[in-house]
Amino acid sequence: MSISLSNISKSYKKVKAVQDISFDVNPGELFGLIGPDGAGKTTIFRILTTLLISDEGTATVAGFDVVKDYKAIRKAVGYMPGRFSLYQDLTVEENLAFFATIFGTTIEENYDLIEDIYVQIEPFKNRRAGKLSGGMKQKLALCCALIHKPKVLFLDEPTTGVDPVSRKEFWEMLKRLQKKGITILVSTPYMDEAALCDRIALIQGGKILKIDTPEAIVSQFPKTIYNVGAVNMYKLIQSLQQYEHVYSVFPFGEFVHYTDKRDLFEISDLQSYLEKEGLTAIHIESTKANIEDAFMELAR
Amino acid sequence: MKRFIGFIKKEFYHIFRDRRSLFILFGMPIAQILLFGFAITNEINNVDIAILDHSKDTTTEEIINKISASKYFTIKQMIVRETDIETAFKKGKIKAVLNFEKDFSKNLIKEQKATIQIITDATDPNTANSITNYINSILQNYQQSKNKDIVIEYQIIPQTRMVYNPELKSVFMFVPGVMTIILMLVSAMMTSISITREKELGTMEILLVSPLKPFQVIIGKVVPYIFLSVINAAVIVVLSIFIFKMPVQGSLFLLGTESVLFIITSLALGILISTIAETQQSAMMISLMGLMLPVILLSGFIFPISSMPAPLQVISNIIPAKWFIIIIKGIMLKGVGMAYVWKETLILIGMTLFFIGLSVKKYKIRLE
């Protein structure tokens, strides 16, 4: 096991940040922690990166105990905290060189590992890190976390506050890094990114709801989901929520995801109900569940 | 070692790229030493006085001439009526009025005595005192020159000699104090701010999750400031020697060594502050309130410790600056060697070890 947690709990004063968390990450796996803000993702990261000591339970990273062997772990892992944590008054190149030096290596030695990413920010290598755009900052932070060729990479919400194009690029990079044999634990509040992980753990309120591959989680979704669209979105949601057979209603982009209580459901029934409610341009079709639907269902 | 050098290099980038800290580092020492040297002074120089001469005879004229000839006083105004004395003081310029009685010479010859009234503005008691003393001594001088030929049977002649600072220059007193303040401020405040900055910006999190050992981080933070503080100390000494003609009687080497020791004491204090403070702002507040004020008030820099109330005298002992001021005053003004300051030096070393020990104990290898 590259990362292993068993029965980890941690409280801050009276707030229980994480409760009885257990999961394993296999070597070379891209594992995602998916959950909203305040779910306890950062606390898990800090326990695994030896920054916090859990109240209960044990954990190992790369075979080392997070409390006893914290020094060994600090040499073996790369960590990118949720908040941008590089030196804003140092240039791109100086930041990278600094992190290479403190890990006892050089940029040249491990250049092949970061090359794909670094070429994108190299044109700005003399710019101060504080003056970079959000996406650039994250790429630089990733380079700095990778420069010492870590066995395990911890990325805490690496794409928060990053534009969609850079987010996509960032995940492509993670996939490439994974191919080089690095175990990656990544957290994100974005459900669409969850599908890109090998396995995910859905967490909320400090507890794990489910751990599985994204496909399995989606396929286990118990109900049929219908995409419902109409001209007046607000009225549509209100009407659906008042429908007598409603099970769940969630807005999703330009549509509303709707599930029904009944096993036998006729689209025409709903169609006529909505028409009666005065909605126009009604469009209903069945669709596949996604991670967000699964999360909402599990979090009910 | 390479790691360590890389870390120090990074620290220098931080210092040289932050204009504010650069200004505190190099602007303040020069500004302070010049300010204390030129502007803030206890000396009596060209004090404006007024004369109310009721007799206007040869003796009073001689005395007035003697007073105006001294560099201490400038006669700004001749007053005619008693009631004008009050007005002269209220205008604020005049610090003293000399009031000669009527028939001054006549009285002196006939009755062997005549009186002058010295009225001083005592809103500033120290200055008022000094003015009275200076005028008294001018008058005594005049009297002696008049009585040259007369033999007095019993006479006590006090012979005063001011040693170590014969001209009573107040800058001699300020230089050691300013040097102490600046070294303390630069060393303690700047290090505590630079360590808490890493905490505040989140970079401490990354440094912790790296093979850098805590003591390497701390020493790496401290080394640049030792270097810069030594430069600062040198600048202050050079300024005081060349601009204020302050002598360095003792060995420059000893002065340098003791300064480095005090710098390390201050740095240790700075590290201690950074283990308590979470933000740059609180680090700065603790440094200013917790270090600057005691240094100024209780170190003997401005107010002599011997005239403090007993409890404060006891408290002054735990202020490192007190001991350093004793040491550098001794070296610079009295020219003493290690034989005379070993006790103070040992106290400073002890304090330093205590601060370092305490900060090592308090230093966190984790986030909480």
Of B13, B202, B208, the CB nearest to A89: B13
Find the closest chain A residue to B2 by CA distance: A101
- Any chain B CB within 8 A of the CB of A75? yes
Task: Check: CB of residue B220 under 8 Å from CB of residue B214.
Answer: no
Q: How confident is the model at residue A265 (pLDDT cuts 50, 70, 90)?
A: confident
**CB pairs A-B closer than 8 Å:** 77
Of B14, B209, B211, the CB nearest to A79: B209
First and final C-alpha spacing in chain A: 32
Task: Check: CB of residue A30 under 8 Å from CB of residue A175.
Answer: yes
**What ipTM is given for this predicted complex?**
0.85
What is the structure's pLDDT at B40? 67
Q: If you average pLDDT over residues B285-296, what whole number do you get?
A: 86
What is the β-pairing status of strands A30-34 and A207-212? unpaired
Cβ–Cβ of A94/B202 closer than 8 Å? no
Residue of A52, A87, A127, A149 to mutate, testing the B interface (most B Cβ within 10 Å of its Cβ): A87
Of B2, B6, B203, the CB nearest to A85: B203
Find the closest chain B residue to A75 by CA distance: B211
What is the structure's pLDDT at B364? 80
Task: Check: CB of residue A201 under 8 Å from CB of residue A210.
Answer: yes
Interface of B with A (CB under 8 A): 2-3, 5-7, 9-10, 13-14, 17-18, 201-203, 205-212, 365-368
Find the closest chain A residue to B197 by CA distance: A87
Helix, coil or strand: residue A298: helix
What is the structure's pLDDT at A232? 87
Q: How confident is the model at residue A258 (pLDDT cuts 50, 70, 90)?
A: very high
Find the closest chain B residue to A102 by CA distance: B3
Task: Check: CB of residue B277 under 8 Å from CB of residue B286.
Answer: yes
Q: If you average pLDDT over residues A47-55, what whole number do you get?
A: 94
Query: Above 80 in pLDDT, residue B39?
Result: no
Q: How confident is the model at residue B244 (pLDDT cuts 50, 70, 90)?
A: confident
Contacts of A102 in chain B (CB under 8 A): 3, 6-7, 207, 210-212
Shortest Cα–Cα distance, A259 to chain B (Å): 44
Helix, coil or strand: residue B287: helix
- Any chain B CB within 8 A of the CB of A126? no
| CA–CA dist A122, A132 (Å, integer) | 12
pLDDT in tens, A109-151: 989 888 888 998 999 999 999 999 888 999 999 999 999 999 9
Indicate if the alpha-carbon torsion angle B233, B239, B242, B248 is positive or negative. negative
Of B201, B209, B212, the CB nearest to A49: B209
Measured between alpha carbons, how far is residue A23 from residues A60, A201, A216, B47 in Å? 11, 8, 17, 84
Find the closest chain B residue to A141 by CA distance: B206
Contacts of A144 in chain B (CB under 8 A): 206
Cβ–Cβ of A77/B209 closer than 8 Å? yes
What is the structure's pLDDT at B174? 80
Tell me the whole-structure pTM to 2 decimals.
Answer: 0.81
Of A83, A84, A98, the CB nearest to B6: A98
Cβ–Cβ of B7/A103 closer than 8 Å? no
pLDDT in tens, A200-242: 999 999 999 999 999 999 998 888 899 999 888 899 999 999 9
Cβ–Cβ of A85/B14 closer than 8 Å? no
Of B7, B9, B211, the CB nearest to A74: B211
Indicate if the alpha-carbon torsion angle A170, A171, A177, A179 is positive or negative. negative
What is the structure's pLDDT at A213? 95
Of A51, A84, A86, the CB nearest to B367: A51
- Any chain B CB within 8 A of the CB of A280? no
Contacting A residues, span 183-212, partner chain B, CB-CB under 8 Å: none
What is the structure's pLDDT at A49? 94
Cβ–Cβ of B201/A53 closer than 8 Å? no
Nearest to A299 by CA among A200, A174, A184, A204: A204
Cβ–Cβ of A52/B366 closer than 8 Å? yes
Contacts of B7 in chain A (CB under 8 A): 98, 101-102
Cβ–Cβ of B18/A84 closer than 8 Å? no
Backbone angles phi and psi of A21, in degrees to 5:
-90, 130
Contacts of B221 in chain A (CB under 8 A): none
Shortest Cα–Cα distance, B267 to chain A (Å): 23
What is the structure's pLDDT at B12? 92
Cβ–Cβ of A75/B367 closer than 8 Å? no
Shortest Cα–Cα distance, A136 to chain B (Å): 18
Cβ–Cβ of A90/B13 closer than 8 Å? yes
Nearest to B269 by CA among B183, B208, B174, B368: B183
pLDDT in tens, B67-126: 988 888 999 889 888 888 888 888 878 889 999 988 888 888 888 888 899 999 988 888
Give the neighbor-by-neighbor strand order of the sheet with A255-260: A246-252, A255-260, A225-229, A283-287
The average confidence (pLDDT) of chain A is 91
Which amino acid is located at B44 in the chain?
Answer: I
